[in-house]
Amino acid sequence: MWKPWWMEGSGPMHEFAAALVYIVAVIFLVLLIVIVTGKVWREIVEARRRHKRRELEPSFFRYLTNQGPLERYLPRAVRRSDRPVIEQIFTDLSKVVKGTVRARIRDASERLGFVDHHLQRLESRRWWTRADAAEKLGMMGSEKATWALIERMNDPVPEVRVRVARALGNIRTSDALRPLTRALTDPGRWSAIRVAGILIRAGDESVQILLEEFQKLPFHAKISAIDIFGRIRSLNAVMLLRELLRNEEPDIRARAAYALGSIGDPNSAPDLVAALKDRAWAVRSMAAKALGRLKEGESIEHLCAALGDQQWWVRANAAEALRNKGTEGVDALLAMLDSKDMYAAQQAVQMLQESGVLDHLIERLAAEDGAQRQQALEVMAKLVKLKRTDLLTEMAHNHPEPSIRQRLAILLGLRVQPQTSG
């Protein structure tokens, strides 16, 4: 009769090998049973949850979009086993809705005891439980959780602090947001960028709090607050930012100028024009950039003057600002080609070239309209006078239109072989 190899033979080694095979086989069998049972159990639990969700979801949706207490819409009393399913419905939905529905989710979460449950979890010894509780409380948006969350802002684990900050940002009341503005003052323990991001998402509510707290903030938190004003683009912050252009710290003045540009209120133009004469070049540079973003034309002559600034960044930003001003700005740049200030004239050429205005004017050398041709020739002659002939020389050799090549060659005093077009 056939026997497997481990049953053949005898002796202590054979018995040891046979025992080993049995032990390994039993371990594998037990593991297999545990894995299969676990999987089946998870499937059953999941199927039951799906079934419960299908049963409960319509009632909750009806509650969320109507008025009246939760009990009126439920098919039966909420059981203990329903709670994870209901909480999941609320969590999923609170990511995509706002307004009344969100408020109804908050009310139901309070009423069903979810908020109290997570407030208890917020005191857990395990940091991941505290982090999860903070996140859930943030999604529920219950004001009831505000003070517990504020206390948790001193949690030793950074991940918990970040989730608490995010939760407070979601609650969005002044009580919840005020500690976040204070968190800006603690760069050693907080990532200012993440807190700033949360305040930015909270929008105008955080602007109001930051305006109230601004004077109490230390230097680096003031800088963050100014950046937040600019990112939210809140008109409510314009008055303060205009005042800050006269602050004694150049970094604050520069950031305020940048933020005013982001907000884009044309009423801030006179203050930004004044900042073009600031003693710190970074402030002048940011003021020029900001003026380029405002929809107004009063600053054009001041930007032209800034083209002659000693600092390259100021000149470059002023030229870019003029280009952003549209036709009026481009005309001003063209007029600057006659400037006695060589810095200004050269910067104007640079911007006209970068923005494609010179290419456009070169095309006009072949225009049928004599006035247009003449205007283009005059600009080209100014470029020759400024010794900025790189583009013109290239076009004199390579432009596909023979008449343009010829006119440029004459202007530059080049001997270019006339070519046929195409």
We find the least distance from the C-beta atom of residue 199 to another protein, in angstroms, to be 17
DSSP characters over 221-248: HHHHHHHHHHHHT-GGGHHHHHHHTT-S
Rounded least distance, CB 402 to another protein, Å: 40
Residue closer to another protein by CB (options 117, 201) is: 201
User: Residue 92 Cβ, how far from another protein at the closest point, in Å?
Assistant: 4
- Which of 62, 117, 65 lies closest to 87 in space, CA to CA? 117
Q: Which two tokens stand for residue 100?
A: 């009344």
Local structure of 165: helix, strand or coil: helix
Pick left, alpha or beta for residue 273 (phi over 0 → left; psi -120 to 50 → alpha; otherwise beta): alpha
Residue 244: CB minimum distance to another protein, A? 27
Contact positions with another protein (CB under 8 A) in 262-321: none
Dist. CA 217–CA 25, nearest whole Å = 69
Residues 6+ apart with CB under 8 A from 107: 70
Alpha carbon distance 207, 348 (integer Å)? 39
* Closest distance of CB 321 from another protein, Å: 21
3-state secondary structure of 40: helix
Neighbours of 72 (CB within 10 A): 11
Closer CB to another protein, residue 54 or residue 385?
54
Residue 207: exposure state from Cβ atoms within 10 A (0-12, 13-18, ≥19): buried
Candidate ranges 36-44, 94-102, 272-280, 302-310; the one touching another protein (CB under 8 A) = 94-102
Is 72 or 189 the residue whose CB approaches another protein more closely? 72
Interactions with another protein, residue window 192-211 (CB under 8 A)? none
Total residues at the site for another protein (CB under 8 A)? 17
Residue 174 CB neighbours (<10 A): 12
The three-state secondary structure class of 396 is helix
Binding map of another protein across residues 35-64, x = CB under 8 A, - = no contact: ----------------------xx--xx-x
Of 101, 150, 280, 384, the one binding another protein by CB under 8 A:
101
CA 287 – CA 285 distance, rounded (Å) = 5
Q: Cα–Cα distance between 34 and 19 in angstroms, integer? A: 22
What amino acid is encoded at 150 in this protein? Answer: I
Binding mask 1-40 for another protein (x = CB under 8 A): ----------------------------------------
Q: Is 95 in the site for another protein (CB under 8 A)?
A: yes
**Of the two residues 100 and 174, which places its CB atom closer to another protein in the complex?**
100
The CB-of-330 to another protein minimum distance in angstroms stands at 24
* 64 vs 321, beta carbon nearer another protein: 64
**Distance between CA atoms of 168 and 184, rounded to whole angstroms?**
14
Shortest Cβ distance from residue 94 to another protein (Å)? 8
Among 68, 99, 370, 422, binds another protein (CB under 8 A): 99
Q: Choose between 94 and 389: whose C-beta lies nearer to another protein.
A: 94
Out of 13, 77, 96, 371, name the contact with another protein by CB under 8 A: 96
Which of 103, 101, 59, 51 has its CA nearest to residue 78?
A: 59
Can you tell me the distance from the alpha carbon of 237 to that of 177, in angstroms, rounded to the nearest whole number?
A: 17
Identify which of residues 64 and 318 has a Cβ nearer to another protein in the complex.
64
> Which residues, at least 6 apart from 378, have a Cβ–Cβ distance to it below 8 Å?
none
Minimum distance of another protein from residue 62's CB (angstroms):
7
Single out the segment in contact with another protein by CB under 8 A; choices: 90-98, 185-193, 214-222, 306-314.
Answer: 90-98
Q: Give me the least distance between CB of 52 and another protein, in Å please.
A: 14
- Alpha-helical runs (H) found in 280-369: 281-293, 300-306, 312-324, 327-335, 342-354, 357-363
Residue with tokens 């239109």: 401
Q: How far is the CB of 340 from another protein (least distance, A)?
A: 42
Binding-site member from 52, 102, 152, 405 for another protein (CB under 8 A)? 102
Residues 60-89 that bind another protein (CB under 8 A): 61-62, 64-65, 89
Chain contacts with another protein (rule: CB under 8 A):
57-58, 61-62, 64-65, 89, 92-93, 95-102
